[in-house]
Structure 1
Amino acid sequence: MSEWIHCQLSDVCDFFIGGTPSRNQPEFWATPPNGSPWLAISDLKSKFLWGSKEHITELGALSSNVKIIPSDSIVMSFKLSIGRAGITKKAMYCNEAIAFFKPFQSELDSRWLYHAIPRAAEKVVTDSAVKGATLNKKKIAEIPLHLPPLNEQVGLATVLDTLDTQIQKTEALIAKLEKVKEGLLHDLLTRGIDENGRLRPSPAQAPELYKESPLGLIPREWGIGSLGDLSTSSVIGPFGSDLVASDYRSAGVPVVFVRDVVSKMFTWKSDVYVDNQKAASLSAHDAVGGDVLLTKMGLPPCIACTYPSEFPEGIITADIVRLRPDKSRVLPDWISNYANSEHVAAQVRGITSGVTRPKVTLGDVRSLKVAVPSLEDQHAILLRVSEASRRVILARASLSKLLSEKSGLMNDLLTGRVRVTPLLDQAQATTPE
C-alpha cells in the first residue's frame, strides 16, 4: 500500500455546483422532450440517473449560471442527504444541492470515485454541518481520498460494478416476482381454483361459475362474511395512560406497533417490551400466534398481517386492531391476505373518504366484508400464495447477501486491506451475461 496516496478531492478533480432557475419565469422551464433534464436530490434514487421530469431551457441554465453535466459524470448531494451519489446517463443540469465532478484523467478514475466518495464525504461532516445537513465548497474540496494507483482504481471499480450489476438484476427479479405474486393473489382471491387445482376460468370465460355479491362477482360456492362475524374476539390496543413510554423495558413481553405490521407481513422492528406484570394487566390486548393484526391509521389504514405462531405472545398498541379468527370458518392467512386486497381497500376508502388523516375504528374493521370459500379451498389457495411468497423471500435473501458482500468488499478494497488484483478474475468469471 506504499503506492497509495492521501490527498484531497480538489487535488485530483475539478467540481462544479448546480443551480435552480426562478420558478417565476416560465420561459426558464420546459416540458419534456424540450430543454434538458434537471436533477434534484429526490432524483438520486439509483446508480444511473436520467434526470427528473422537470426540464430547463438554455435560458434557464444561463439565468442560474450552471454548467451542463456531461453523460457518465459522477454527481453527489451535499445538502440534506450528504454523499448520495449517482452517474448521469445523459447530459443534464442539477440544482444547487448537488455537485458534479471532472476527474483529472491521469490520476482519478470516475467509476472508482462513484464508489469511494459517499464514505469519503462523511469524513468532512462536522457537528455544525450535521445540524444544517450541508457542506460548502471548501468542505467539498477538502474531502479526503485514500487513492490507489490508477490501474487499481479501475480494477476495484470493476469488481464493485460487477456486484452492482448482480444487485440490480436481483432487484429487478424481486420487482418482477412481486408483480407476479400480486397478479396471482388478485386472481386467486377473486376466482379461486377449480376441482382440478387450476385457477378457475374468469367470469368473462365462464359467467355461470359466478354470482353477484357485495364484493362483486365471486364463485358460486363462496360465501360472504364480515370480519366481526368471522372472529371470536376483536379488540384495539390500550388507551392513553394504560400503556406509556415509561412502561417500556428492554426485555419481557413484546409490544407490537404499527411499524411492525405495515409491510403486510409481521416484521418486528420495535424491540420494545413490557414486564410480565404490566402484560398481565393488559391481557385483554394480547396477540398470539394465528391472530390477525390491522392498522387503524396510515396511508392507507387497514394494512394486515398474521401474527406468527413462532413469535412470543405480545401486547398491541392503540393504533392496532387485533382479530382472533374463528378457525372453524376461516384461516388467519386468508383474512390477512384478503384484508390487503383491493376488495377491502375499496371498502376502507369508502369509510375514510374526505378525511385528511384516514383512520378506521374497531367498528369499521368489524364491518369489513370478505369472501369466504370452504376451508379446503382456502388451504389450496394459500398454498399457491405461499409458493409465490417463498420465491420473493428467496430473492430478497439473495439480495441481502449481495449487499452484505458489497459492503464488506468496500470496507476492504477502499481501505486497501484487500488488494483488488486477485479478485479481478473472480469478478469477470461471475459477471452475469
Structure 2
Amino acid sequence: MQQFDVVVIGAGAAGLFCAGVAGQRGLKVLLIDHAVKVAEKIRISGGGRCNFTNRDLDPRAPHKHYLGENPEFCRSALARYTPADFINLLQGAGIPWHEKHKGQLFCDRSADDVVQLLLRECAAGGVTHWQPCAVRAVRHVASLAGGTTYELDTERGPVQSHSLVVATGGLSIPKIGATDFGHRLARQFGLRVVTPRPALVPLTFDSSAWAPYAELAGLALPVKIEAEPPAAAPAPAPAPAGDTADGAPKRPRGKSQHTGMAFLEDLLFTHRGLSGPAVLQISSYWQEGTPLHIDLLPGQDIAAHLAEAKQQSRKLLSKELAHLLPTRLAETWTAQDPAWQRPVAETSDKALSALAERLRRWTLTPAGSEGYAKAEVTAGGVDTRELSSQTLEARAQAGLYFIGEVVDVTGWLGGYNFQWAWASAHACAMALTPGPR
C-alpha cells in the first residue's frame, strides 16, 4: 500500500492549487480525480479566458460578495491569500491578463494558461497525479504510530495518507464530471451538509406565461434586478460553542440568504426565461416561490419622458418607447395592453402612468431554474460550522479538510468563486503536516 502525507481528491482549481502548495512545502502529495480531463471547469470559465479573481474583493467584509449560512467564515482565508497574491503568481509565470470591468480579471490568451500554471506548480512540488482514477471507498483507521490515517481504495490500488483534502467541487455542470462525492464523504464522517442548490444559473418561467417574451430570445439590455426576501425568514441557528475561537466574528447565520439584494447588470432574454449577468447574480439569492423585481430603465424618469412625448410626438407609443428600449422589447411590451397600442398623444395619462410603473418595477415569479446543467456554481455544501476557518479542517475529524466549492461558501459572478478556491486551498495547504515517517 502506497503511503502519502496528503491525498487531495479533486483536480479542479482548489485541489490543484492546494496540492502544489503542499508539495512545495515538502509534503508527499497524491492528487486524484475521476474525470478524464484535468480542471475542465477552469478551461470553460469566463468564455474560455478564466475570470480568475476580482480586485474589488474586500476580505474584511466577505458578506458583500459571498453568501452561505455564515459568509463571514471565509474572512480568514481570503485575508491571508488575496487577489494580489494570485496576480503575483500569474505575473511571475509571465501570463498576461486584463481587467474587464467591475474588478473582473481575465487571461489575455486562454484559460489554459491558468491550468498549465497550476500543473507546473504541482510538478514543482513533486505531486503524484492520478487521473482519471476513481476513489471507491475512504476509511479512517488508527495508525500504529497513534496518529490519524486515511485509507483509500482507488482504481489504481489502495493508498494511505496522514491527511485527506476533499476538493471535489459541487454538482454544477455534470457533463464535465461533477458529482456529490464530496457531500457524501462529509456525511460519512458525520458532518452536516447545507442543502445544495444551483447558483449563478438562468431562471425559467411557465411556458404559457413566458409566451409573449419567448421571441425576444437573444435580446439584452442593462437593468436593475432585485430579489424579494421570503415573508418569514427562519430564525438563525445558534452558534455552537467555540464558534469564534479561530477568529471568525459572530454574525447572524442565514442573514445573506434572506436579505433583499439588487444588482445593476445586463439582462438576457432566452426562449425559456431570463439569463445574463443580472439574472445569474440574483439567482444565488432568489428563493423558490418569491418574485423578482426588474427596473428595465434604471436611473431614468420614464414617467417624465412619456409625459413630454405626449405633448410633442404623434408617434405610436411603441415607437416612442423604442427611443428608450430595444425596438423588439418596446413592441412586445406595448402589445400587452390595448391602452398602449395607440399614438402617445392619444394615450391616457392613466395608461402612461401604468406603463411607466410597470417598466420601473416589472414583477415576475420564476417557475424554477435551468438547474445544475447550466449553473456555474453550487450553493450550499459542507456546513462551515463543521470546519475551522483558519485551516479548513473538520473540527470533529482530525486530518480531514474541505476546500473550494464543496464548502457552503458561494461567491458572486466575476471571479469571486475562483478567489475562494485559491484562498481556501492555500489556507489548507499551509496547515497540512507530514505524517509519521
TM-score (norm 2): 0.25
Larger RCO (CA under 8 A, 6+ residues apart): 2
TM-score (norm 1): 0.25
- Return the index of the structure with the highest Cα Rg: 1
